[in-house]
Structure 1
Amino acid sequence: MRSCALAALVALALAGPARAAMSDGVVRIGVLTDMGGPYSDNVGAGAVLAARMAVEDFGGTVAGVPVEVVSADHQNKTDIGSAIARRWYDVDKVDAITEVVSSAVALSVQQISRDKDRIFLATGPGTPDLTGKACSPVGLHWAYDNYALGNVVAGAVVRRGLKKWFFLTADYSFGHALESQAARVVKANGGTVIGSARHPLGSSDFSSFLLQAQASGADVIGLANAGTDMINAQKQAAEFGLTSGRQSLAALLVNLPDIRALGLDSAKGLLLADSFYWDMTDATRAWSKRFMARFDGRAPGSLQAGVYGAVTHYLKAIQAAGTDDAKAVMAKMREIPIDDFYTKNAHLRADGRVVRDMYLFQVKTPAESKYPWDYYTLLETVPGEQAFRPLAEGGCPLVTTQ
C-alpha cells in the first residue's frame, strides 16, 4: 500500500512540470473561416474537417494534454471575425487560430493574436502584408500569397505575348493587393496595365465591369478576385463572348472547387497557380482520398489541405517544445523542417512566410479529363525562393530591426 502511494507521488512529481507548461490542460485550435459566403467551397467545412483530421492523425493529444478543435464563421466581416477571435482568446482559452480566408479579417486577427500572445496560422488569406508591414512574431503565412500568384500566373501570360492588361478587382484589401502584385509582374515583363474596375465583394452582376474591360482594348482581363466572384465573372465573360474573340481571361486566384463550379467546358485552358493539387503524387492522393471519403466525395483544394499541414506543424512544435507558450512554439516551428504530403523541403522565414514551391497548372479539356476531379496538367514548378517576395523587400519590422 505504501509503495503504491509512493509510486503515485513520484508519477505526479514527474508529470507536474510538463503539465504546468501546458496552459489550461488542453490545446484548443480555432478554425475561423467562411462557412456560407463566396469562399466557403474553398475553405468552410472542408477546412474544419482538415483540422480535425490533423488532430486525429496526431493521436488526439500533444505533450500529454488533449487537443480540441472549435470553429466559427467570420462572414468575411472584420468586426465579426475580430469579436470571435477576442472571445476565443479571452473566454474560451483558444491557443491558436487558423484559416481566416478573408485578408481584411486576417490582418485584424493577426494583430489581436499578437496582442494576446497567441499563434495565428494563416492559411487562406492572400495579402502579403501578413509577412510585410503587418508581420507578427507569433504569426505565419502558410499556403500562398498574392505576390507569388502574380509572379507565377501574370509572368507566364505576359511571356506568351499577351501584354496589355485590364483588371477586374474585388474592392477590398485582398483584391487590391492581388491586382497590385500582378500589375508589378506585368510591367516587369514588358507589359502594360491600361485600366481596372473594382466590384463589391459578393457581386452577382458583372455586366458593367465586363463592358469596361471589353471596351478597353486589353489583351488580357485579369480577375483579381476569388471564390464565387471569380466564378460569376468568368461565366458572365463567356456569355458576353469576351473570350471568343481576341481577349483572354486570366484568373489570378483559382481553387480546385472553383473549376468544378465552372465546368471544364468553361474553364478549359485556364492557366493558374497553386501550392497543392490532390492528384500530383501517391502521397497527395492517399491523403486526399481519406478526405474525400469524409467529404461527400469532394477533393480538397489547397486551402483545405493547407489547414491540415499548418495544424500538424503546430502540434509537432508543441510536442518538441514541451509547452504551448507561443514564442517557444514559434521558435520550434522555425527549427523543425516542413516536409509532408502537402509541402516538400519548405522553411519558415523570420517574417512568418513559409517558403514553398508553387506550381503553374493548366485546366484540362473535357476530353483530357479521365476521372472525377481530374482537372489539372502541371506545366511548371516554381521554386519558393523565386515565387515569393524576397525577405529584404517585405518591410517586416521583425527583419529590419534584427
Structure 2
Amino acid sequence: MAITRRTALALAPVAAAFPAVGRAAEKQTIRIGVLTDLNGPNSNGTGEGSVAATRLAAGDFMRAHPDVAVEVLFADYQSKPDIAQSIARDWFDRQGVDFISNVNNSSAALAIATLVRDKDKAAVFTTPASSDLTGKACGPNHVQWTYDTYSLGSCTGKALVAEGGDTWFFIAADYTFGKLLASDTARAVTSAGGRVIGQVSHPFPETTDFSTFLLQAQASGAKVIGLANSGENTVNCVKQAAEFGIAKRGQKLAALLLTIPDVHGIGLATAQGLLLTEAWYWDLDDKTRAFARRYAPTMKGRMPNMLQAGDYSAITHTLKAMAAMGVPAAKASGKALIAQMKAMPVEDEAFGKCTLRADGRLMHPMHLFQVKTPEESRYPWDYYRLVRTISAEDAFRPLNEGACSMVAG
C-alpha cells in the first residue's frame, strides 16, 4: 500500500511537544507507533485521546530519564488490517519504530501480532478486545492490556441474568471482535442459567441504520438485546432503540462495550439505566480523579475512558521495562522486551498495581457500572454509579483455559 499524504503527515514524530527534555539526550531515542482510529466509528473512544495519553506517558518518562528521548508517531489505519500491516511494516523497516500500541480493531491486532513475532518487534495492545490475543493467538512479542471480550461478556452477561434477563438476542458487528464478544457473552449467559434465542450480524464499519436489526431483536421476544459492537455503532443502536421504544416495552439493552465518551454522545436521558463493564472510570477514586485532571487539559476538558487510561498505563510500563533492561537491548528484541515487562511488577498512577500474566494478559479488577439518570448527575462527566467491582481472577479467563501455547498444561 502506498502511504498517503495524510498518513505521511501522521507519521511525523511529536517528541517536540517536550523540547526541553527531549533535546537533553538525543543519543538514545525510543519510537512508539500508535496505530489508531482517527476518523472512524471508534475514534471517539481511542483516536486523538489515545495519542494524548501516550504523549503524557512519554513526557513523564522523559522527565524521569533525561538521557532518553521518546518520539510518538501515530496513524489512522481506517480499521483495515491490510492498511495496519502496511503502516506497521513501514514504521519498522524505515521509520525506526520500536514498538506499536493501541490497534483498536481485533482483526488488525491479530495481523500485527503475527508481524511483530516475525520481525522480533513488540506490540502493546491496549484497545483490541479479542480474547484470542491471549488465547490461541498468544505470542511472546505482544501483550493485551485493558480488557477483552471474555471479561466484558462475563461481567455484564452474568449480572443481567442474575437480574432476570435470562433470554438474549445479539446484534453483532460482522468481524472478529463482534463475533467473539457475542460468543464470549453467550458462554457467560448460558453458564449462569440463561439462553440465547437469536443473533444477527451487521456490516462493519459502514452500518449507520440499525432499524432492521433492532426490529428483529424486538420481535424475538428476548428479555435482553446484547449489542456486540462498539463506538458509533453502539451509540447509534442505543439511540435508535430509544426511538423504537424498546426499553419502554420491557426489553433491556446490554451495551457490551460502551465507554464514557459514548455515554456523553448518547446523553443521560437516553443512556440512563444501562449496565456496562469497564476497567477504569475517571471518578472511581482519588487516584483516578488525579490522573483525569492531568489528562483533561490535553483534550479540551474531555475525561479519559478506560482505553485511554490503558494507553497511559501500558506505555508507562513498557518504557520502564526498556529502561530497566537497557534501551539498546530493548530495541534489539521485542521478545526480550515483553519478557522483561512480564518479569517486572506493574504499577502506575492510572491502573495502580497489577500483574502481567504468562499469556500476556494484564490482570486487574473490572467494574460493573450503571449509567446515572440526569437527576443523579451532579457535575460534568458524572455519569456512572458503581454497582460492583469484580476481581481480576473472576473477570478474566483462567490461565489454563485459553489454549495459549506459551502456557504449560
* Shared fold (TM-score, shorter chain, > 0.5): yes
Higher mean Cα deviation, 165-174 or 319-328?
319-328
Distance of 1:242 and 1:336 partners within structure 2: 48
- Aligned-pair CA distance for 1:62: 5.0
2:36 to 33, 36, 60: 33
Q: Which amino acid aligns with 2:372?
A: K
Distance of 1:326 and 1:61 partners within structure 2: 23
1:222 to 220, 226, 234: 226
Distance of 2:126 and 2:259 partners within structure 1: 13
Q: How has the CA–CA distance of structure 1 residues 120 and 60 changed in structure 2, closer, same or farther, with 3 Å as cutoff?
A: farther
Distance of 1:71 and 1:104 partners within structure 2: 19
Q: Which amino acid aligns with 2:153?
A: G
Unpaired runs of 5+ residues, structure 2, are: 1-26
What corresponds to 1:331 in structure 2?
A: 339
- Aligned-pair CA distance for 1:84: 0.5
What corresponds to 1:253 in structure 2?
A: 257
What corresponds to 2:217 in structure 1?
A: 213
- Aligned-pair CA distance for 1:398: 1.1
- CA contact under 8 A between 1:96 and 1:118: conserved in structure 2? yes
Distance of 2:360 and 2:202 partners within structure 1: 31
What corresponds to 1:371 in structure 2?
A: 379
Tell me whether 1:73 sits opposite 2:76 in the alignment: yes
- CA contact under 8 A between 1:292 and 1:298: conserved in structure 2? yes
1:101 to 85, 99, 104: 104
Distance of 2:133 and 2:165 partners within structure 1: 31
Runs of 4+ residues deviating >6 angstroms: none
Higher mean Cα deviation, 237-246 or 35-44?
237-246
- Percentage identity across paired residues of the two chains: 50
Deviations 1:160-191 (A, max 9, x none): 11101000000000000000000000000110
What corresponds to 2:395 in structure 1?
A: 387
- Work out which of the two has the higher radius of gyration on C-alpha atoms and give 1 or 2: 1
Q: Which amino acid aligns with 1:207?
A: S
* Pairs aligned (count): 380
1:180 to 164, 180, 183: 183
Within-5 A mapping of 1:140-151? 140-151=143-154
Q: Which amino acid aligns with 1:356?
A: H
What corresponds to 2:201 in structure 1?
A: 198
TM-score between both structures, scaled by the size of structure 1: 0.92
Q: Which amino acid aligns with 2:203?
A: P
- Aligned-pair CA distance for 1:61: 7.6
Q: How large is the RMSD of aligned CA atoms in angstroms?
A: 1.6
Tell me whether 1:139 sits opposite 2:142 in the alignment: yes
Distance of 1:60 and 1:398 partners within structure 2: 36
Determine helix, strand or coil for the equivalent of 2:116: helix
- Aligned-pair CA distance for 1:346: 1.4
Distance of 1:277 and 1:190 partners within structure 2: 30
- Aligned-pair CA distance for 1:25: 3.8
Within-5 A mapping of 1:3-402? 25-59=28-62, 62=65, 64-202=67-205, 203-323=207-327, 324=330, 325-400=333-408
Determine helix, strand or coil for the equivalent of 2:172: strand
Distance of 2:405 and 2:66 partners within structure 1: 32
Deviations 1:195-221 (A, max 9, x none): 011001131111111111111010110
Q: Which amino acid aligns with 1:381?
A: T
